[in-house]
Amino acid sequence: MDWIAVFLLVGHYSLLIALCVFGAHRFITTYHARRLYQSPDGHPQFVDLPLVTVHLPLFNEQFVAQRLIDAIAQLDYPTHLLQIQVLDDSTDSTTELIAQRVAHYRRQGLPIEHIHRSDRRGYKAGALNDAMVSTRGEFIAVFDADFVPSPDWLMKVVHHFSNPKIGMVQTQWDYLNRKDSLLTRLQGIMLDAHFGVEQAARYASGAFFNFNGTAGMWRRTAIEDAGGWQADTITEDLDLSYRAQLVGWQFVYLRNVRCLSELPANMNAFKNQQRRWSKGGVEVMLKLLARIWRVKLPEPSTSSVPSRRRAWSIKLEASLHLASNLTHLLILIDSVVFLIPAVVLRQNILPYPPIWVDFILFTFGGLSHLYFYLSAQGVLGRPVWRQLWLVPLLMATSIGLSRSNGSGVFEALRRQKSPFVRTPKIGTTGTFADSDIEPSEAPSKATEAVSYLRQFTLSGEAVEVLLGLCYVLTTIWCVQNQVYLALPFMALFAIGFLYAGTASLRERLASSFSSA
């Protein structure tokens, strides 16, 4: 029993220390975002505007395809310098809807093309790569199906490429349906932290940062120099970003240019998105980490990068960035194997280290999240105190997602490949008003994604609910045994796993009843 207890305690504290390393990194990142970021407003401008191609990769997006095409048609850019390509891999009525909308705008003189592939070879990366053959633009903007750029988006972005060293410009996301539900509010805060802190901090400090797959623009030469779009990971955007920066291209992040988009409207869609991002991030880590440390990085130019970092510092930041998704697996292992036994054993069998050691470590990790999320609200000009009560719920939800995200990370570490599963979009209020789709055909927010997410099996949801119930019992045990310092953390785990599991089950049951 002593050896088992020692194993459980050592395992628990080893994982906590590893998580604290990532927590410390989050503190540093937030500091950089708050203190160093400056919007690059003083850039030169093109005398003669360049030819720009807009790529719209779509797959079975019947509820949002028209909204996207209509938004792109309103871009304020000379039509003789614009090429729009709708890259359509759809297998449903989306193809017909796209064809009708493209024909409508072609009759008005808009240079828009409909490129339909009969297979999904390479998924999104394959569609983007195949389109390069017919792409005429020197610069390529990419928008996913759920994005709605403003008419002035291109003009705000394109002039940053007047610096010949700039290979990509990424803009911030904003959200059409942020206030629709508790889940979308939580997602808004989470993504605000990524764009308001992580992207801003990496750009401001001269570190590598990534294209987010949409609402950004590339220099065609940068894509080609980096080896083009590749489909050997499911996060082709992150992969291309690092390969381009490793060969010397510099990126710009514009926190003051926003592009509206749609957040996943239910738990299963959200899980699908987060799992894909987590798994893909680890796939890119395995693919490029050794190369990052082997390559000799070119010296950054102060004319395009706000501050200079040494090569080893850039490489360390890149390593922590790519490895950050491992935290999902660490949390899952600790919550399933070590955490509950460690709390109980230390209280009843091994009194040392005392419970306050857990409290310090958990608090350090928790405060890093609190500082991270609330700082993002501050730098983006949102009311911080109005969001304060949501941050613990977001932390709990992140814990609840560790089952699905952690399994994705484990698959990546095993180099187990999986297909690219799109995140379903349902359209927002008013989406169907000007569409050929009748509102009655629109799926409910509780059911639309389920048919696309068969990989999230009942057993996985049951594990989440079971873990939540275990942490409810542990919370009760902590009250009975006066282990009060552990209470808030046990409650977070209970709420997170129960929320993730019951929400998924509720959506699956709703889908079953609606199709019966």
pLDDT of residue 342: 87
Q: Quick one: average pLDDT of 5-21?
A: 89
Flag whether 277 is in a domain.
no
For residue 131, report the phi and psi dihedrals to the nearest 5 degrees: -70, -20
- Tell me the chain's radius of gyration from C-alpha atoms: 24
Inform me whether the pLDDT recorded for 1 exceeds 80: no
Burial letters 247-259, b for 16+ CB under 10 A, else e = ebbbbbbbbebbb
Flag whether 79 is in a domain.
yes
Flag whether 239 is in a domain.
yes
pLDDT band with cut points at 50, 70 and 90 for residue 343:
confident
Flag whether 252 is in a domain.
yes
pLDDT of residue 456: 44
pLDDT of residue 351: 55
pLDDT of residue 44: 83
Inform me whether the pLDDT recorded for 432 exceeds 80: no
Higher-confidence residue of 401 and 365: namely 401
Q: Are residues 148 and 245 in the same domain?
A: yes
Look over the chain and give the mean of its residue pLDDT values, rounded to a whole number: 88
pLDDT tens-place string over residues 249-286? 999 999 999 999 999 999 999 999 999 999 999 999 99
Which of 235, 265, 295 finishes a domain?
265
Catalytic residue positions, numbered:
89, 237
Higher-confidence residue of 73 and 483: namely 73
Inform me whether the pLDDT recorded for 179 exceeds 60: yes
Flag whether 287 is in a domain.
no
How far is the CA of 402 from the CAs of 271, 332, 461, in angstroms?
A: 10, 5, 12
Q: Are residues 174 and 48 in the same domain?
A: yes
pLDDT of residue 203: 94
Burial letters 187-214, b for 16+ CB under 10 A, else e = bbbbbbbebbbbbbbbbbbbbbbbbbbb
Q: Are residues 20 and 144 in the same domain?
A: no
Taking each helix axis from N to C terminus, what angle separates 487-515 and 390-400, rounded to the nearest 10 degrees?
70
Domain enclosing residue 139, as ranges: 44-265
Which of 265, 282, 315 finishes a domain?
265
Domain count, the chain: 2
Q: Are residues 388 and 261 in the same domain?
A: no
Q: Are residues 490 and 412 in the same domain?
A: yes
pLDDT band with cut points at 50, 70 and 90 for residue 410:
very high
Q: Quick one: average pLDDT of 102-121?
A: 95
Q: Are residues 221 and 359 in the same domain?
A: no
Q: Are residues 87 and 168 in the same domain?
A: yes
Q: Are residues 60 and 13 in the same domain?
A: no
14-18, 189-193, 395-399, 432-436, range with the lowest pLDDT: 432-436
pLDDT tens-place string over residues 297-327? 865 554 444 445 678 899 999 999 999 999 9
pLDDT tens-place string over residues 133-171? 999 999 999 999 999 999 999 999 999 999 999 999 999
pLDDT of residue 444: 43
Flag whether 126 is in a domain.
yes
Which of 265, 295, 315 finishes a domain?
265
pLDDT tens-place string over residues 38-63? 777 667 899 999 999 999 999 999 99
Q: Are residues 172 and 233 in the same domain?
A: yes
Closest CA to 394 of 324, 492, 464, 504: 492
| Tokens 């990769």 found at | 57
pLDDT tens-place string over residues 200-235? 999 999 999 999 999 999 999 999 999 999 999 999
Q: Are residues 23 and 48 in the same domain?
A: no
Burial letters 149-170, b for 16+ CB under 10 A, else e = bbeebbebbbbbbeeebbbbbb
Flag whether 247 is in a domain.
yes
Q: Are residues 53 and 25 in the same domain?
A: no
Q: Are residues 23 and 76 in the same domain?
A: no
* CATH at residue 234: 3.90.550.10
Flag whether 15 is in a domain.
yes
